[in-house]
């Protein structure tokens, strides 16, 4: 009969192995060829284990070129800028359209690009059609890459923002095909259709991005949604 100490040691090792395996998937360290999950596809609604499938894109430029294609997204790879002092990017893309809507994002990681395409295609556009009878024509943003620390929080101000790795986007609003303009700054508060639209799509963003924060988070985000796929998770 095994002694209790031996059993506890085996359980501890098993727990460590489980944590290490989860971490490897979480940080995109497992190449797609070794993953038990099928590659992500923008042609289909989000599948099970979406986060891990998106994470697998992190270090796989060849897979990214296969995944990021029209009509779901218009994307072109940009040369890497090796991360120095916390700033730079790897496996980045320039985005001109996503989910049928125009967008000007000059540097955005592959995983973020795919997540954004899925969110716009399968949540933002359907909500726009259902609530306004018109599709989104363009997405207005405050930028993607910026070599800076996190702002708006004293607790995290000494840490680099995900913007510093081109792994984040700040979305300010939308313009519909019928000319309707919807902005986070002007339309978040209230109970009209614009406010309901913004709240509805922001709530779904947590399915695609690890951090999805907006006006309810702090004053620094009163006029935009911040979305990223960093190491932490926060939805508010």
pLDDT in tens, 91-130: 999 999 999 999 999 999 999 999 999 999 999 999 999 9
Name beta bridge partners: 101.
Answer: 98
Does residue 20 fall inside a structural domain? no
Does residue 156 fall inside a structural domain? yes
Whole-angstrom distance, CA of residue 126 vs CA of residue 123? 6
Whole-angstrom distance, CA of residue 70 vs CA of residue 50? 20
Q: Which structural domain, as residue segments, surrounds residue 185?
A: 56-235
Whole-angstrom distance, CA of residue 186 vs CA of residue 188? 6
Does residue 3 fall inside a structural domain? no
Phi, psi of 107 (to 5 degrees): -145, 120
Whole-angstrom distance, CA of residue 210 vs CA of residue 51? 8
Does residue 90 fall inside a structural domain? yes
Does residue 92 fall inside a structural domain? yes
Determine the average pLDDT of the residues in 191-210. Answer: 97
Which pLDDT score, from 0 to 100, does residue 20 have?
A: 46
pLDDT-derived band at 21 (thresholds 50, 70, 90) equals very low
Does residue 178 fall inside a structural domain? yes
Q: Is 136 exposed, middle or buried (0-12, 13-18, 19+ CB in 10 A)?
A: buried
Does residue 147 fall inside a structural domain? yes
Whole-angstrom distance, CA of residue 93 vs CA of residue 110? 6
Total count of domains within the chain? 1
Does residue 172 fall inside a structural domain? yes
Which pLDDT score, from 0 to 100, does residue 22 have?
A: 46
Name beta bridge partners: 235.
Answer: 212
Determine the average pLDDT of the residues in 175-196. Answer: 97
Phi, psi of 129 (to 5 degrees): -65, -40
Q: Are 95 and 73 in contact (CB under 8 A)?
A: yes
């Amino acid at each position: 009969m095994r002694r209790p100490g031996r059993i506890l040691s085996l359980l501890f090792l098993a727990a460590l192995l489980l944590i290490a395996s989860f971490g490897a998937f979480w940080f995109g360290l497992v190449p797609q060829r070794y993953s038990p999950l099928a590659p992500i596809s923008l042609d289909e609604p989000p599948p099970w284990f979406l986060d891990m499938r998106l994470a697998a894109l992190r270090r796989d430029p060849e897979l990214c070129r296969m995944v990021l294609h029209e009509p779901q997204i218009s994307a072109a790879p940009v040369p890497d800028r090796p991360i120095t002092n916390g700033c730079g990017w790897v496996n980045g893309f320039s985005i001109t359209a996503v989910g049928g809507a125009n967008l000007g994002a000059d540097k955005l990681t592959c995983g973020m690009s795919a997540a954004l395409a899925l969110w716009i295609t399968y949540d933002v556009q359907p909500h726009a059609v259902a609530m306004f009878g018109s599709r989104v024509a363009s997405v207005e943003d405050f930028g993607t890459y910026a070599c800076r620390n996190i702002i708006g929080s004293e607790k995290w101000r000494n840490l680099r923002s995900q913007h510093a790795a081109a792994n984040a986007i700040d979305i300010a609003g939308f313009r519909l095909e019928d000319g309707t303009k919807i902005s986070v700054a002007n339309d978040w508060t209230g109970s009209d259709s614009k406010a309901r639209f913004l709240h509805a799509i922001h709530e779904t963003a947590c399915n695609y991005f690890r951090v999805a924060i907006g006006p309810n988070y702090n004053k620094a985000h009163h006029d935009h949604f911040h979305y990223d796929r960093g190491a932490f998770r926060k939805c508010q």
